[in-house]
């Protein structure tokens, strides 16, 4: 790629992040740590980088040492791993002889072979942060290549306190409420459950249209195109049936039978692959049955959507389903996916709980 052209793109993108409003997310980050921010599209991964850049500026780091590149830019579609070193060269040139650049590489999974470059830069003791919207960027093979040089941070849609803060409510707002304030909070909570909590959604009036645009980007780009799927009917039907089964254990055999009865005959492995692609895009996540045998854990999870607003696109009058989905999101936000399970016995008493303290939530 032409060096001057790439430098111009980087300059243009710097103007973009400088013009974005400051959105302080509730994620404690340490200095001198390289982070890998992952999560569903539009959930605020880029804003985590903007937040870090702002903190660097507050600590006296000039903008000349900040290197930010968003690989979603269509002008970078033909960029290869060989071009990544040019970014470092430009960064060194901009930072000056006695300074080191700080690198922020957004959606870097779009560049094939990116992980070797990132590892080399980390080994050279540069501060580098990356984001990605596909869980494959943290596959076992890539994780082995990176070799513990990055700390993974899962970025979720707003928590309710963050949602209130984005609308100008003080962090202590919930502690002392008048009757009027209480009614306002109830209204906000209803909106939070119904439309979800993507950061940009707060200021958008036509929320359903915005949610649909996110869904289409994930569906068409991250699921269908990325994985070269042509069976549109089957994938849409799988998503619909998973949405209808949120909060219920769902095995691949059962899902295959449901699809068959609806007119979509797919092999079990194909169903497994399609659902895996949905998980890779962070559209869905699962909770396992803590009390079940290992094989049942593997095959009968509960599926949830990463945002309740996206679930609402699939169903009519689903507030109770969205509420349980919201609880699942909040638990994995607080405790991590590996520590949250559902519990089911013959009496059908189902709860979600944190493994560490074995406390039902």
Q: Domain coordinates of the chain in residue numbers?
A: 3-154, 204-360
Distance CA 20, CA 106 (A): 15
Distance CA 356, CA 361 (A): 12
CATH of domain 204-360: 1.10.10.10
Closest to 43 (Cα-Cα) out of 222, 208, 198? 198
Distance CA 63, CA 68 (A): 10
Q: What is the pLDDT of residues 22-40, one digit of tens each?
A: 678 889 998 889 999 999 9
Calculate the alpha carbon distances from 219 to 96, 114, 184, 201 in Å. Answer: 43, 24, 34, 19
Q: pTM for the whole thing?
A: 0.90
Could you report the average pLDDT of every consecutive run of 10 residues in the chain (361 residues)? 94 85 83 93 94 92 96 95 96 94 96 94 96 80 80 95 87 71 88 96 96 97 95 95 93 92 91 97 92 66 96 93 95 91 57 52 40
Do 3-154 and 204-360 show the same overall fold?
A: no
Contact indicator for 171, 129 with CB cutoff of 8 Å: no
3-154 maps to CATH 3.30.43.10: no
């Amino acid at each position: 790629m032409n060096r001057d052209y790439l430098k111009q793109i980087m300059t243009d993108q710097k103007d973009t992040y400088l013009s974005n409003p400051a959105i302080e997310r509730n994620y404690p980050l340490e200095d001198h740590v390289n982070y890998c921010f992952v999560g569903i599209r539009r959930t605020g991964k880029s804003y985590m980088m903007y937040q870090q850049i702002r903190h660097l500026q507050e600590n006296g780091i000039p903008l000349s040492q900040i290197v930010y590149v968003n690989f979603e830019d269509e002008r970078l579609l033909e960029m290869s791993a060989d071009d990544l070193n040019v970014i470092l060269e430009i960064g060194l040139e901009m930072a000056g002889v006695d300074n080191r650049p700080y690198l922020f590489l957004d959606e870097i999974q779009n560049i094939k072979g990116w992980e070797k470059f990132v590892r080399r830069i980390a080994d050279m003791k540069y501060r580098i942060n990356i984001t990605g919207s596909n869980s494959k960027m943290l596959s076992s093979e890539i994780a082995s290549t990176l070799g513990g040089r990055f700390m993974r941070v899962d970025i979720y849609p707003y928590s309710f306190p963050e949602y209130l803060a984005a609308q100008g409510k003080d962090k202590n707002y919930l502690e002392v409420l008048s009757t009027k304030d209480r009614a306002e909070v109830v209204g906000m909570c209803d909106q939070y459950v119904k439309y979800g909590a993507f950061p940009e959604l707060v200021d958008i009036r036509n929320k359903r249209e915005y949610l649909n645009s996110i869904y289409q980007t994930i569906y068409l780009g991250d699921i269908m195109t990325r994985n070269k799927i042509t069976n549109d009917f089957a994938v849409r039907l799988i998503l619909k049936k998973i949405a209808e089964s949120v909060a219920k254990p769902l095995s691949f055999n059962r899902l295959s039978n449901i699809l068959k009865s609806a007119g979509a005959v797919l092999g079990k492995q194909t169903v497994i692959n399609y659902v895996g692609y949905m998980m890779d895009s962070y559209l869905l996540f699962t909770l396992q049955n803590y009390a079940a045998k290992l094989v049942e854990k593997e095959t009968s999870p509960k599926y949830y959507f990463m945002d309740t607003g996206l679930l609402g696109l699939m169903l009519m009058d689903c507030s109770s389903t969205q509420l349980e989905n919201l609880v699942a999101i909040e638990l994995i936000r607080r405790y991590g996916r590996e520590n949250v399970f559902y519990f089911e016995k013959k009496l059908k008493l189902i709860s979600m709980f944190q493994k560490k303290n074995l406390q039902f939530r």
